[in-house]
A and B are shown apart, each in its own frame.
Chain A
Amino acid sequence: MLIRLENDRFDAVEDRFAPVGEDEALPETGAVILSLSRFQADGAALLAAGRDVGVRIAPADRVEELVCDLPRLALVALDFPKYRDGRAYSSAVLLRERFGFDGEVRAVGDVLIDQAWNMVRCGFDAFETTVGPNAWAAAARRYRHVYQASADDRPPAFVERRQAAARRLAPQDG
């Protein structure tokens, strides 16, 4: 199942992208997701033909290698071969915060419900998982507050505290 996060809603959506394995033939039409090396070989031609292209990044791949292509990519899929491998979180944060990527950042691989809040906070907005969208949404929102700034624009506790203090100090309406 593919869950998309849009306007603060988690919905199950149809996946219009076809994953293409390393040695598989490219489909004639439609959107595709390629590995980084396959993208470096075939990506330019597909983009020139007007196809929607996504790139699948393995944990050891450096997202910096995509910098020049990011404006033309529909999505970046970050792979979790094991859910304990946390490199994709840093890749997602870099894509969002450093490179300003505003396309889809999709979690693929070993994607468990217990990671939902980590992923959302790091800027993922699509999730290939066996979990339903309601359960996923609940897990993603489990924490009412957050302590630190990340890629999701939730106000950290120190901002909430400052705002609360400002409200206390503000003149009350008579």
Chain B
Amino acid sequence: MFQYDAIDRAMVADRNAEFRDQVGRRLTGELTEDQFKPLRLMNGLYLQLHSYMLRVAIPYGALTSAKMRALAHVARRWDKGYGHFTTRQNIQFHWIRLSDTPDVLDYLATAELHAIQTSGNCIRNTTSDPFAGAAAEEVDDPRVWSEVIRQWSTFHPEFTYLPRKFKIAVTASPQDRTAARAHDIGLVVRRNREGRLGFEVIVGGGMGRTPYIGATIREHLPAEHLLSYLTAILRVYNRFGRRDNLYKARIKILVASLGAAEFGRLVDEAWDGMDRPRADLPDVELARIRASFGLVDFRTLPPRSERFEAARADKAFARFARNNIVPHKIPGYGIVQVSLKGIGEVPGDCSADQMDALADLAERYGHGEIRVTHEQNLVLPHVALDDAPAVHEGLAAMGLATPNINLVSDMIACPGLDYCALANARAIPIAQAISETFADPDRAEAVGELKIKISGCINACGHHHVGHIGILGVDKKGEEFYQLTLGGSGAEDAAIGHVLGPALAADRVADAIDKLVDAYLAIRQPQERFLDTYRRTGVGPFKAAVYQDAHQA
């Protein structure tokens, strides 16, 4: 894990002192709410329906046991005993008092955690691959580049008041677990034919009311020029991105209106005029960051674990192993995925006790590392297969052994109308109803990979546009309705889903998903996922399945 040095600690301390001062000025009335708002947002503090919400960053989704315990402590002492892991590799505490926030932030700083730039119109926490350092096929460790970007973007003086929020993703594997093409900038680490490390630079992806899959503006940016090139992109956006309309202010709108080629030309022009050696990171600092992540002390193990194989006799463990454990780059190890989508539970929620238990399991069996995924699950990235049965047992004891990764009940859902001031409709009860419909694990496994994503409003925090099945809450004359989209993907085969038909009443959604799945099972060919079948057949059979009754009525 990356280790902070004295400079990193001083940066957070100085920020916390500044924010304490700003909170004090707000509480005395010296700052109006209007003046305070952009300042609190840059420190992750939102005013929600019932109280303030504090969003804490989990840089590149990597936690240690100590950090997880610190989050548990915040949940117990200042919140209602739980936290909510988001689709952005952050954790949100929904019941925080404004006057407590400076103390919460000071406490978090003792565990090298912070809420810097987790909201506001600035560069946000960089999304990275939760399997970093464990995935067999990765070209490089994406956390190294995410840390480079974290430092560069933290308190960037020029890019603190952008037209709108700005999100960067870094992935280094052929399988994209970051939704890179749905980010403002997606960086895919690659080696070119000469073996040089570089980035495919993708710009202008995004969700919201006008979703776009990003466009590639550079096939292979030499890795050493990352920071100067990012500066050029951000400068073009800061200067020319729209500021007259909140909903047209993201970089995707600028890229779409100029065209990717012209946008790329403007970036090159800005880049050419820059003192690149001054802007780019020196090799010696890159080497320091690389070294600061340290090496995991893996043991030499046989690839096949007899204990693991024997434990498969237990049906529950066998199912967990099939769905939640994936191969590791080191023989004899596995990547254990922990679902925060228990049947009938709120997606992404985690209690303080569960956090502590995970911290213990990670410490005992997982080299003290825990990752957070953008699909609102957790990962123990380095578990010896010999220890997997014990880990499973520990997770089961805490209600964290739901064997449903990538299955129908492994849904993304935004907080929705239950918590959010912007929402038109509830998202969580819809997710709960669907997961109860598919509570039979045999059926869920038979259905296979199916990504359902639910947003409570057009802002699309639940990423419904890139769900294999997307569900969007809309308000129809004061009633909650839900529009379904099919065929989206946030992975390396990224696509925006298509609207299936008229929106459905809340009590019809789970049943409609059931019908879509039945239609898929009836027509799928061998090895086809739901998404593949939809792409092969088009919308016809699915539309018929959901709306047939309506036509008869």
Contacts and interface: CB of A to CB of B under 8 A. Distances in A.
Interface in A41-86: 59, 83-86
Interface residues of B, number: 40
Nearest to B8: A157
A160 to B, nearest CB: 6
B226 to A, nearest CB: 12
A160 B285 CA distance: 11
A118 B154 CA distance: 12
B121 A84 contact: yes
A122 interface: yes
Closest 5 interchain pairs by CB?
Answer: A86-B161, A121-B157, A158-B285, A118-B157, A147-B151
Contact of A161 (B7, B22, B239, B275): B7
Given A114-B39, A143-B14, A89 B288 contact: no
A148 B14 contact: no
Q: Contact residue range for chain A?
A: 20 to 34
A38 B454 CA distance: 53
Given A87-B238, A90-B239, A162-B285, A147 B158 contact: no
Interface residues of chain B: helix, strand, loop or mixed (majority):
helix
B429 interface: no
A85 B161 contact: yes
B235 interface: yes
B155 A143 contact: yes
A108 B160 CA distance: 18
B158 A90 contact: yes
Given A85-B243, A145-B11, A150 B281 contact: no
B278 interface: yes
Contacts of B279: 149
Interface in A149-166: 149-150, 152, 157-158, 160-162
B152 A148 contact: yes
Contact of A122 (B154, B157, B243): B157
A170 B174 CA distance: 45
Interface in B114-163: 121, 151-152, 154-162
Contact of B160 (A118, A147, A149, A157): A118
A162 B281 CA distance: 12
A126 to B, nearest CB: 17
A3 interface: no
A101 to B, nearest CB: 14
